[in-house]
Structure 1
Amino acid sequence: MQSPAGSTPMKSAQAPWRAWLLTDTPASPRQAALGRAYRRWRRFSSNPLSMLGLAILLVLVVVAAVGPLVVAQDPLHQVLAERLTPPNAAHWFGTDQLGRDILSRLVHGSRLTLAIALLVVVLVVPVGLLMGTVAGYCGGIVDTVLMRVTDVALAFPKIVLALAFAAALGPGVLNAVIALSITAWPPYARLARAESLRLAQAEYIHAARLQGASHLRILLRYIVPLCSSSVIVRATLDMAGVILAVAGLGFLGLGAQPPSPEWGYMVASGRNVLLDAWWVATIPGLAILAVSLAFNLLGDGLRDVFDPRNGG
């Protein structure tokens, strides 16, 4: 039975590329890298929950990028005559105590919340990765000193330590980022150290030493890249916790300050009218829940993809 018209050319056009990517005998490092990436994507896309998390995050990125250009209302504009208006055609998510449109504040706040979370991860991942790989590869006194510093940081609950630093530094977005960054790096250092201890005894590392490669080259060329996948997966899973911590600092008044449309502050500002105007606190709370869930689903999918037991 012949396939429908138009389907055969598409199949014949795609099959060579798929065969080229999935070949067991790649002709170049580039082909091998592309084939490995394609296999990982197929494994990731086969998980519906991981794809759901990715879709939610893509929607968040699009909203943060172009949403403020589409939403007409000013997130800071106050209309006291329309305060605590329930969701309607003019204000899809209602208004808050000062008559500000919640949808507009939610859209503009997505930029701030996502930027803070990404900035924290960008700051802490290189620090934790560097400390962990140096400690695991060098060993001896270097490992002892770096890991004792890490143990001291891990001895305190992260959110309590972040609150202490945020209170000492003062309220504000920048201080919230610094406070969260100071407390978030130890788990990455521990993970990178464990990976480095295993990789340092690998045969190809011994071969690189015999060929005259310096310790710095081995660290930067082999150890750090091979540890990066596990650390990135951990960072993706931790993004949910970072977003909740950012919202928590905003809720306590130690993060973004009014009239900033940060989601945690929006929840805090609506807690006093929760029974009379549920939408003021509930809608930004649901946004925090959705983004945190999306990062967890994405992190679970990446963990399965990069798991060596699954061929990652």
Structure 2
Amino acid sequence: MTMTIDPPPLSRRAYLLSDQPASRTQASLGRAYMVWLRFSANGLALAGLGIIMALSLVAIFADVIAPHSPVSGDLAGARLLPPGTGSYLLGTDDQGRDILSRLIFGSRLTLAVVSLVAVIAAPLGLLVGTVAGYAGGWVDAVLMRITDIFLAFPKLVLAMAFVAALGPGIENAVLAIAITSWPAYARIARAETLRVRNSDYIAAVGLMGASPWRIVLRHVMPMCLSSLIVRVTLDMAGIILTAAGLGFLGLGAQPPMPEWGAMIASGRRFILDQWWVATMPGIAILTVSLGFNLLGDGLRDALDPREAGR
């Protein structure tokens, strides 16, 4: 009687890096692992990921971390205190409110704005771009001319016009930024669609009887996601700056909400003597914008191996 000896089980790394995956799940996990290996080899990308993760944790646990209230302060005894005074690590503003606490709670607004804009603008741009690229003809011409009209205006100016029409407020600011952000995503999605729409596997799906909408939704859109994710991540810094610009002009979040752009606007009157009032939120905007840019660069290199080798 001959005994068969089962081969030793594959290690986790060998399982993920297998050249002959046994299932679709294994293939998907292997691709994700390769992306992570390329991403983790970039130290600056890891630094950007660390900044964004730290911002997320601060926003989640703001109620626990913040030492003071973000909307009320000691106007009589704690007005315009410099950094390091007592329990005010970053000083106070002209209303006696703790700047550190306002920055911590302001991170929630920042993450909410960038998340909502991405959720609204990216799917809209992806849908418009893929439909235009796959349909072609007059559909492509009409959709792209509408896109060109939006691209002809500077993003901040167009967002200001929409907010002025809709009224000031954080909800209208998010909607205005989303309306001005989708055209760039539509252009990217259209370019990717034009690249793949005449490929053999798209033709095979069509011969199998798939409808044009099914082809666009199930087979074309997934091919555009990697480029779109990179562009959305890189655009996060611009979204933050646009939201801060609207807040600075009084068109975004309204007082006493701790929005970073509005904090800079309220501190510009004291920039020479009480520099920390406007400087601290400016540093916060700079740090978070840098984090998103580093993260976007890392994702671009990880999702496109051709870029990583340059």
Residue from 250, 261, 265 that aligns with 1:264: 261
Q: Which stretch of structure 1 is more off in the superposition, 246-255 or 82-91?
A: 82-91
Distance apart, 1:198 and its partner CA: 0.7
Report whether the alignment pairs 1:238 with 2:230.
no
Cα separation, partners in 2 of 1:78 and 1:304, compared to 1, 3 Å: same
Residue from 26, 39, 43 that aligns with 2:34: 39
Aligned amino acid, residue 83 of structure 2: P
> d(CA) in 2 for partners of 1:311 and 1:237?
17
Q: Which stretch of structure 1 is more off in the superposition, 207-216 or 35-44?
A: 207-216
> d(CA) in 1 for partners of 2:81 and 2:9?
54
Report whether the alignment pairs 1:59 with 2:59.
no
> d(CA) in 1 for partners of 2:127 and 2:261?
32
Residue 81 (structure 2) aligns with = 85
Residue from 164, 167, 188 that aligns with 1:191: 188
Aligned amino acid, residue 144 of structure 1: A
Residue-pair matches, total: 300
Cα separation, partners in 2 of 1:279 and 1:311, compared to 1, 3 Å: closer
TM-score (norm 1): 0.93
> d(CA) in 2 for partners of 1:198 and 1:244?
33
Residue 177 (structure 2) aligns with = 180
**Contact 2:300/2:307 (8 A) holds in 1:** no
Cα separation, partners in 2 of 1:15 and 1:269, compared to 1, 3 Å: farther
TM-score (norm 2): 0.94
Residue 68 (structure 2) aligns with = 73
Report whether the alignment pairs 1:229 with 2:226.
yes
Report whether the alignment pairs 1:50 with 2:11.
no
Residue 207 (structure 1) aligns with = 204
Gaps of 5+ in 2: 1-7
Residue 106 (structure 1) aligns with = 103
Residue 3 (structure 2) aligns with = none
Distance apart, 1:179 and its partner CA: 1.1
> d(CA) in 1 for partners of 2:212 and 2:284?
46
Report whether the alignment pairs 1:17 with 2:3.
no
> d(CA) in 1 for partners of 2:9 and 2:288?
35
Report whether the alignment pairs 1:162 with 2:159.
yes
Distance apart, 1:309 and its partner CA: 2.4
Q: Which stretch of structure 1 is more off in the superposition, 276-285 or 213-222?
A: 213-222
Residue 149 (structure 1) aligns with = 146
Aligned amino acid, residue 36 of structure 2: W
> d(CA) in 2 for partners of 1:109 and 1:308?
37
**Contact 2:246/2:252 (8 A) holds in 1:** yes
Cα separation, partners in 2 of 1:19 and 1:138, compared to 1, 3 Å: same
Q: Which stretch of structure 1 is more off in the superposition, 88-97 or 246-255?
A: 88-97
Q: Which aligned segments of 4 or more residues in structure 1 are displaced greater than 3 angstroms?
A: none
1:185 aligned counterpart, secondary structure: helix
Residue 217 (structure 1) aligns with = 214
**Contact 1:77/1:100 (8 A) holds in 2:** yes
When the two chains are superposed, the root-mean-square deviation of aligned CA atoms in Å is: 1.6
Distance apart, 1:212 and its partner CA: 1.6
Distance apart, 1:125 and its partner CA: 0.3
Report whether the alignment pairs 1:122 with 2:119.
yes
Aligned amino acid, residue 271 of structure 1: R
Distance apart, 1:15 and its partner CA: 7.2
Residue 6 (structure 1) aligns with = none
Cα separation, partners in 2 of 1:194 and 1:209, compared to 1, 3 Å: same
Residue 297 (structure 2) aligns with = 300
Q: Which stretch of structure 1 is more off in the superposition, 46-55 or 145-154?
A: 145-154
**Contact 2:301/2:308 (8 A) holds in 1:** no
> d(CA) in 2 for partners of 1:25 and 1:15?
13
Distance apart, 1:305 and its partner CA: 1.1
**Contact 1:68/1:104 (8 A) holds in 2:** no
> d(CA) in 1 for partners of 2:237 and 2:118?
11
> d(CA) in 1 for partners of 2:58 and 2:9?
33
> d(CA) in 1 for partners of 2:151 and 2:308?
32
**Contact 1:106/1:261 (8 A) holds in 2:** yes
> d(CA) in 2 for partners of 1:222 and 1:311?
26
